[in-house]
Amino acid sequence: MSKRIAIVGGGYIGVQLAKSLDEHADVTLIEPRSHLVHTPAMIRAVVDPSLTDRALIPYDRLLKNGKVLRARASGVDANGVTLENGQRVEADYIVVATGSSNATPFKPVGDDIEGLREANQRIHDQLMAARSIGIVGAGAVGTELAGEIAHAMPDKKITLISDTDRLFPTMPEKLGIALVGKLRDMGVNLILGKRAENLQSMTEPYAGSLTLSDGSEYEFDLIFPVLGSRASSELIEVLPDTQMSTANRVKVDPWLRPSSLPNVFAAGDVSDAGDGMTIVAASRQQPWLKSTLKALMAGKTLEEVKPYKPWGPKAPILVPLGPKRGSSFLGLFTAGDWVTRKMKGEDLFLKKYYKLLNQG
């Protein structure tokens, strides 16, 4: 009889793992949303709402043998998963991939896909009416957002604010320098090394004033708080012997286990395996999980399996500034407009994920 694998969360880890194990095990993917939210396209969707529909990819054709159960998990234990409606999914192995939440309109609140569509349109309308835009937080999302708005709406007065002295401070310096140069060239005003002290909302764009850590004050027609992802770790933080990390993530051992339950794994944004909270991290964890679960199903012990090795500081990152420009770090070297455009900026990986979810 094939082994039962329950995967909680149909984000980048969940969908890829479920599909890759569909022929090898009895797979159940538990996911309350009707669609995968393809986050790389949700930034450009703020300037082009017609992209929102394309960024929402239905789950209905993902699996041939296993099933996608439209439900929210409320508990995990060594024997399986309990759903919010009280139903049980018994399993031999459980993978928790509940990901993270982010600000509106980049990710839905809970499973509210319709609410995400509405928020996207509402904030687009506010952006159209605004003249001055403040973006607080210059990680990948904040930097890309500044580039998308500057490209699509060159008449807007955009200010990108970061509390770090340079962009992408953990990456090779060349990347941040190139992005600063391109953003300035596109008319974006950068304020680096200063904190916004009085954000009225950490998750919703609003009109108002900002006081920065040096006492300076700015008025904006629209302020986007873009402060990073926060892990959805409720299911695993209550398991025995777990340890919390930053951004609400849970630490995992070298075999991606968050607790002392030997058959419960956690991957992606929810777990801190030494990787960043990116799809790039998922792209390394998912193949490791697939081969590890296959080895366990074939009778190997976990100690016989090579531990997971995170990307470390060489994880690649692609930062488009609109569909034409951008800069990237590809592990060994930095690349400019052409490579960034071809690898990400033009298509935002949409084709790849339509294919993965078996949607034409």
Ligand X SMILES: Cc1cc2nc3c(=O)[nH]c(=O)nc-3n(C[C@H](O)[C@H](O)[C@H](O)COP(=O)(O)OP(=O)(O)OC[C@H]3O[C@@H](n4cnc5c(N)ncnc54)[C@H](O)[C@@H]3O)c2cc1C
Q: How far is the CB of 43 from ligand X (least distance, A)?
A: 5
72 binds ligand X (CB under 6 A): yes
Site string for ligand X, 200-229 (x = CB under 6 A): -----------------------------x
Among 30, 63, 127, 149, binds ligand X (CB under 6 A): 30
> Cβ(51)–Cβ(152) under 8 Å?
no
The closest of 323, 317, 318, 319 to 149, measured between CA atoms, is 323
Q: Which residues pair with 133 in a beta bridge?
A: 158, 222
User: CB-wise, 37 or 161, nearer to ligand X?
Assistant: 37
Q: Which stretch binds ligand X (CB under 6 A): 86-94, 196-204, 266-274, 331-339?
A: 266-274
21 binds ligand X (CB under 6 A): no
User: 113 with 122: CB under 8 angstroms?
Assistant: no
**Shortest gap between Cβ of 315 and ligand X (angstroms)?**
9
DSSP per residue, 99-166: -EE--TTTS-STT-HHHHHHHHHHHHHHHHH-SEEEEE--SHHHHHHHHHHHHH-TTSEEEEEESSSS
Alpha carbons 343 and 266: distance in angstroms, whole number: 29
Regarding 249 and contact with ligand X (CB under 6 A), the answer is no
Choose, by CB under 6 A, the member of 141, 171, 252, 293 that binds ligand X.
141
285 binds ligand X (CB under 6 A): no
Q: Does 275 interact with ligand X (rule: CB under 6 A)?
A: no
Which DSSP category does 265 fall into? E
CB 204 within 8 A of CB 229: no
CB nearer ligand X, residue 212 or residue 239: 239
Nearer to ligand X, 139 or 212 (CB): 139
Q: Does 279 bind ligand X (CB under 6 A)?
A: yes
Scan for tokens 């928020």, then name that residue. Answer: 119
Residue 23: φ, ψ to 5°? -90, -10
| Residue 120 interacts with ligand X (CB under 6 A): yes or no | no
**In this chain, which of 98, 120, 248, 327 binds ligand X, going by CB under 6 A?**
98
Report, in Å, the least distance between residue 130 CB and ligand X. Answer: 19
For the chain, where are the alpha helices, taking DSSP H only? 12-21, 39-42, 50-55, 113-129, 140-152, 173-185, 234-237, 279-297, 337-340, 350-356
Instruction: Report the nearest approach of ligand X to the CB of residue 241 (Å).
Output: 21
39 makes contact with ligand X (CB under 6 A): yes
Task: Tell me the closest approach of the beta carbon of residue 285 to ligand X, in angstroms.
Answer: 9
Pairing assessment for the beta strands 317-321 and 100-101 based on DSSP bridges: unpaired
258 binds ligand X (CB under 6 A): no
For the CB of residue 261, give the shortest distance to ligand X in the complex, in Å.
Answer: 17
Does 14 sit near ligand X (CB under 6 A)?
yes
Q: How far apart are CA 353 and CA 350, in angstroms?
A: 5
- Nearer to ligand X by Cβ, of 250 and 279: the residue is 279
The CA distances from residue 267 to 116, 292, 307, 311, 351, in Å, are: 25, 13, 14, 14, 24
Closer CB to ligand X, 11 or 205, in the complex: 11
CA–CA dist 195, 11 (Å, integer): 32
List residues near ligand X by CB under 6 A.
8-14, 30-33, 39-40, 42-43, 72-73, 97-100, 102, 106-107, 111, 141, 229, 232, 235, 268-270, 277-280, 282
